A and B are shown apart, each in its own frame.
Chain A
């Protein structure tokens, strides 16, 4: 397994091997699926759309609907305006969404199709909408595509009315429906009126009823998005995936925002809950305190198995930083912390965490890849890998347990239904991590050392 990965680290500046990121449009497609009765549309050649639908489907084990402009060579030379026009007509005729959310690919970006002009010229049926954003695949990663689409909804739809709606706008970050449901549960317990944008719960975790719904019950409604201009403030969860959209909202409609790390682990969730408390000015209900206490109880119970264990963590920047913080809270050492998404503050923020917990010799890298991380592991091994499915080759090659968290997880089921955020999510992370370490001990210790009670 991975026999050609050598110990000696050559500096690479051109060849990317085993990336920890993918390209923008899939993030935009995911964001658009979090809007009720919305059909994501990929303005490019149809291969991208097929690949992105395929990946979302494999991660969620759910349908991921989207259409494409299906560029041909002719359109690539003369522009894709008529393709988009034809597509919009067919989509409204056949699939009747309330809104089409258009994103681009490296093809339409390179030829310079002006989406804004094209859409302005189009005849859109009464009461229907077409919004757009630009998602060039050669910039950033799927996380940038996600935030670009969320900003696209704000830019195209949100407006200011006469009075406030008393709600806060919550940007959940690039997370699973299970996480969105956990945010909503906590917001409800804290009695905070909110609009979640986007909200993929109910869409990418929809129930089996015997009837396929092209537009399931979930998703932020167009009305809610329009009304975001009347929110009192916005809360951006995840600095990389959400803050840029909160900034767009502030710039366009003067809605102040507060940004937080993804509420993963104790301290980040504490900060999230306290921020909510600042908004409501009410006491935090006992049920939340109880959950927090349970989590800390668990962390103390399991410390003999987690303390001092080294982990390599890879994936999307906000998620990786969230997991890193929790791993540190467990007394573990996040030896290697890698994201493929570019952005230098990732490294700074990871280093701040290392410093805060006084751990030495940990390395953080943005624009990194799994090939490099594997080379580091070969030079100085770790006890645990945490990340998506593509870590499984390294896990097998080096005999290190892999805990699956993040995107994409395409070789396991159910993961997207249950949260990693909040105290509840942290309990789940703690369970995953200890189970992995203890299973490893059970399968690798000497027979006479096998413990029944642990």
Chain B
């Protein structure tokens, strides 16, 4: 049993210890390594987790630029998801169809006490009428917040009414904050409605020979654009991105793409699986964070399409991209090699960024997720073992049938087996643990107490996490970089993103202010005369 792990967990009461010990493991000590995940947070523990609404509206739907998202609830939930997640977008025109961008706006029904008492459906309808008068969007999404489910407002009936009244797309999302145990439930709820109501309703065929969707890429700091640019250079058409910088206009056509690329497995694997069942579209787990990962991902796409010309172009692009960053990369490596890092991010970046850190010679000593499931840690082979518990069993799980018109098979079983022999897994994800060193620590739903304790015992050079613990870490004397918001920098994806990331780390480690933390008189007393100083309380 790892000493470090026990040092941290020992301080817990018996009841908390019993719960937490399943969530904190040392890689290589179990055979196989099993980590408890996606269970309820312990009340009062100071979890960093958010809620179902955040996962649905904040994460998956929020970036869809041309849908007016009306948050049905009191003002807070809408306010806090207004411009705070850095999913970038611009209004644009593709294939003759315009997509507006409403991301600078925050829409809410601003429920008042009377709406709680008498119900808020009337106000919601009125809000839609007003949105249609003022903005005239092609799509409206309604997102529920905590009280909506409790008072029994039927947002789906209102959505149906709006579709009939205005001939637009209007979808209700029952993503009340108390559902599930984290943001994860919200991802699932959003995924279900996307496949039910949007994917497959468009008819704009791809124009290029090879086309893909990028799933689970939210264009934080422009990441999605960076990836799209790379793929375009290789000659691959991107039909839609789920959902960074993307639009209702594009997502409608997602079923017409040849292949789905999955960046964030946690948030979008439901759509990936359902598109496989319904349209026969294979999905490939890729990772455009990290230099080696980018190479591997591009090459895997080339192998999938099996086109010699395409494969050659991919090699050219890789060589060119590496050439552009080579000098800077060598310099950054020389400066960053040998450092250690801890990562605690939502449901996917803790894995992806370890590979980018490895490119710089930085070793990961701890990694954890806020709300990932066991498959994100251990790989999808454990899915049959995962049993739904009381908190998650009410999250609707839908099954889809093959679409009579659009179902197509791109690769035969035989071709897939050849790919498998080359190490390219289709419709699968092996999880984070397999990429980690023995002895590293995995911590699921890391709380404030454990953050402080692990800082003390592991002393990483850099702790990557989010805004709530950034200043805790910084005040403790450690460099903290946010891997949700990128500290307002980015993009970090792709080859050029990697050097932006490396430069940000070097900047953080080299900042002169770190050397001024301790006042010189603390270690070197030089007090000779007492000064007359006025009291300044």
Contacts and interface: CB of A to CB of B under 8 A. Distances in A.
Contacts of A18: 82, 105-106
Nearest to A287: B534
B111 interface: yes
Interface in A314-369: 340
Interface stretch (A56-64, A114-122, A226-234): A56-64
Most chain A Cβ neighbours within 10 Å, of B40, B79, B84, B181: B79
B105 A17 contact: yes
Contacts of A53: 468
A110 B45 contact: no
| Tier of interface size on chain B | 35 or more
Interface in A16-49: 16-19, 21-23, 25-26, 41, 44-48
Given A73-B179, A76-B150, A90 B76 contact: no
A10 interface: yes
Given A48-B76, A105-B146, A76 B178 contact: yes
Contacts of B54: 47, 50-51
Interface stretch (A133-141, A268-276, A423-431): A133-141
Interface string B100-125: 10101111111111011000000111
B46 A65 contact: yes
Interface residues of A, number: 84
A141 to B, nearest CB: 7
B421 interface: no
B41 A70 contact: yes
Interface in B3-28: 11-13, 16
A46 B468 contact: no
Interface in B73-97: 73-80, 82-84, 91
A75 B178 contact: yes
A311 B216 CA distance: 43
B536 A4 contact: no
A19 B518 CA distance: 43
Given A14-B109, A15-B131, A76-B178, A95 B449 contact: yes
Contacts of A138: 74, 111-113, 115-116, 147
A107 interface: yes
B448 interface: yes
Contacts of B124: 14
A366 B125 CA distance: 24
B390 A46 contact: no
Contacts of B1: none
Nearest to B16: A90
A260 interface: no
B135 A4 contact: yes
Contacts of A435: none
A38 to B, nearest CB: 14
A452 interface: no
Interface in B158-188: 177-181
A14 B178 contact: no
Contacts of B40: 70, 72
B73 A106 contact: yes
B391 interface: yes
B430 interface: no
B53 interface: yes
Contact of B43 (A22, A58, A87): A87
Contacts of B390: 74
A211 to B, nearest CB: 7
A4 B471 contact: no
B361 interface: no
Contact of B468 (A22, A26, A54, A72): A54
A379 interface: no
Contacts of A16: 75, 78, 107-110
Nearest to A6: B134
Nearest to B391: A72
A252 interface: no
Contacts of A74: 390-391
A185 B42 CA distance: 43
Nearest to A137: B74
Contacts of A22: 75-76, 79-80
Given A23-B74, A57-B468, A110 B44 contact: no
A185 B536 contact: yes
A46 B45 CA distance: 11
Nearest to B452: A212
B476 interface: yes
A68 B181 CA distance: 13
Contacts of B52: 47
B41 A137 contact: no
B23 to A, nearest CB: 15
B151 A110 contact: yes
18 contacts: A1-B104, A15-B70, A15-B131, A16-B75, A21-B79, A45-B177, A46-B49, A47-B51, A50-B50, A70-B41, A70-B42, A90-B13, A90-B45, A95-B46, A106-B76, A110-B150, A209-B517, A212-B476
Given A15-B70, A70-B44, A185-B536, 18 more contacts: A14-B125, A15-B134, A16-B107, A18-B105, A19-B108, A44-B177, A47-B51, A51-B50, A57-B467, A57-B471, A70-B40, A72-B180, A73-B391, A76-B149, A88-B44, A90-B13, A106-B73, A106-B76
Give the 7 A-B residue pairs with the shortest CB-CB distance, closest first: A47-B51, A87-B44, A23-B76, A14-B126, A87-B43, A16-B110, A137-B74
